[in-house]
Amino acid sequence: MIAETRFSVLDRSRTREGHEGHEALRDTVRLAQEAEALGYHRFWVSEHHGVPGVAGSAPTVLAAAVAAATRTIRVGTGGVMLPNHQPLVVAEQFGVLESLFPRRIDMGLGRSVGFTDGVRKALGRDKGDAEDFAGRIDELLEWFRGTSPTGVHARPAEGMSVPPFVLAMGEGATIAARAGLPMVIGDLRNRERMLRGIEHYRAAFRPSAWAREPYVVVSGTIAVAATPEDARRILLPEAWSMAYARTHGTFPPLPPAERVRSLPMSARERGFYEAGLAGHIAGTEEQAAQELEHLLKETGAQEVLVTTSTYDRTALVDSYRRLARIAGLGAAQELVPGSPAV
C-alpha cells in the first residue's frame, strides 16, 4: 500500500535555540527544495501568531517564497486559519499565488483562532469566530465560483480552481464531508478518534466539483533513522517544547536533544513529555515501513502528510530521505486512482 500512497511535507518553520526566526523561514525554503528533489508530492506551510517557537506567521507569503524556489512540487498551506481572515482576502491571495504558479497551489484551511487571548485581541477576533467555519468556507468558494451575492468579484481568483482541503479538527470531518472537500486529519497518537473521524467523513461525504470521492490525508510525525535510538532522538526537542507549553503556557524554540536529556522535569512535565514521545511512527526504515503499512491499512488514506520538527536539521533531512526510500518516491508521483487531480 505504501507504493500506492502519496507522501507530502508540512513544515511549521519551528525556531531553534540560538537561532533567529529568519533562519527558520530560510530553513523551510531549503527543506522544500530537498522535498522536491526527493519526490514528495506537496509542501505545505502553517499559520501561527505570536508564538515564540514558530516563525511562520504569514503562510501565503511563505508559500510564495517556497513556490518561487521550487519547480514542480505542489505548494500550499496547512493551513490558513480562515476565522482570522476575510474570505475575500484569502481568495485574492490564493488567486495571486495560482496566477504566479499555475497548477501548483493548494489551499489548506483550518479553523483555529489565535493561540492566546492577547493574540486574538490583536487579530480583532475571538473564539466565537471559529463557530461559522463552514459558512466561511462556503463564502470563500463562492469567490472562486463568481457567485458571491455581494456583486463584488474577486480578482484574479474568480474562475480559478485552487484545490481546497479542510484540516479536520473536531467537527472538521463533518464540514469537509458536507462540502465535498478533501480532508486532512492528524493525531496519530489517538488512532481510535482519528479512525472515527475518517469513518464519519466517508459516510457523510457528498461529491462536489472539488472531489468526486472522499480523499483522506493523514498527518503526523514520522522519524526514520539508522537506529531506533537515533529516531527517538529526533522526537525529543518537539516533545519537550509541547510539555513546556502545557505547563508554562508558552511554546518555546526547540532545544538540542542532548540538552533535553539533561533537563530536570517536574512530575507533570515528565508526564506530558513522555506522552509527547508516544504514538508516532519512529524507528529504522524497516520498522517505519511496517508501521506505515499498518496505518494505511487502518485508515485507507490516499496520502500521508509528514509534520516532523526537530532541532537537528541534518537529522531531519536524513529522516525525509529515508522515508522517501521506503515510499519509493521518484521525481514525480502518479495520481492515485479516484483522487482529485491535485
Q: Is residue 335 part of a domain?
A: no
Q: Is residue 192 part of a domain?
A: yes
Asked if residue 174 lies in contact with residue 144, where contact means CB atoms within 8 angstroms, the answer is no
Reduced to 3 states, what is the DSSP secondary structure of residue 3?
helix
Inter-axis angle of helices 59-69 and 87-100, nearest 10: 10
**84: which DSSP letter?**
G
The residue whose grid cell reads 490558513 is 80
Asked if residue 257 lies in contact with residue 311, where contact means CB atoms within 8 angstroms, the answer is yes
Max CA separation in the chain (angstroms):
61
The residue whose grid cell reads 482576502 is 89
**Cα(329)–Cα(326) distance, integer angstroms:** 8
Domain holding 182, by residue range, is 2-327
**Residues contacting 281, CB < 8 A, separation 6+:** 188, 220, 221, 222, 223, 288, 291, 292, 295
Q: Is residue 279 part of a domain?
A: yes
Q: Is residue 135 part of a domain?
A: yes
**Cα(116)–Cα(52) distance, integer angstroms:** 12
pLDDT confidence of residue 117: 76
pLDDT confidence of residue 326: 97
Q: Is residue 336 part of a domain?
A: no
Asked if residue 177 lies in contact with residue 201, where contact means CB atoms within 8 angstroms, the answer is yes
Q: Chain-centre distance of CA 94, in angstroms?
A: 17
As for how many domains the chain has, the answer is: 1
Q: Is residue 283 part of a domain?
A: yes
**Cα(286)–Cα(284) distance, integer angstroms:** 5
Q: Is residue 155 part of a domain?
A: yes
CATH code at position 257: 3.20.20.30
Calculate Rg over the CA atoms of the chain. 19
Q: Is residue 143 part of a domain?
A: yes
Tell me the pairing of strands 303-306 and 281-283.
unpaired
Asked if residue 330 lies in contact with residue 229, where contact means CB atoms within 8 angstroms, the answer is no
Q: Which cell is 307 given?
A: 509534520
Q: What is the mean pLDDT of each run of 10 residues along the chain (342 residues)?
A: 95 96 97 98 94 92 98 96 94 98 97 78 76 93 94 94 91 93 91 94 96 97 98 98 93 95 95 95 98 97 98 98 95 40 52
Nearest Cα neighbor of 197 from 128, 298, 115, 289 is 298
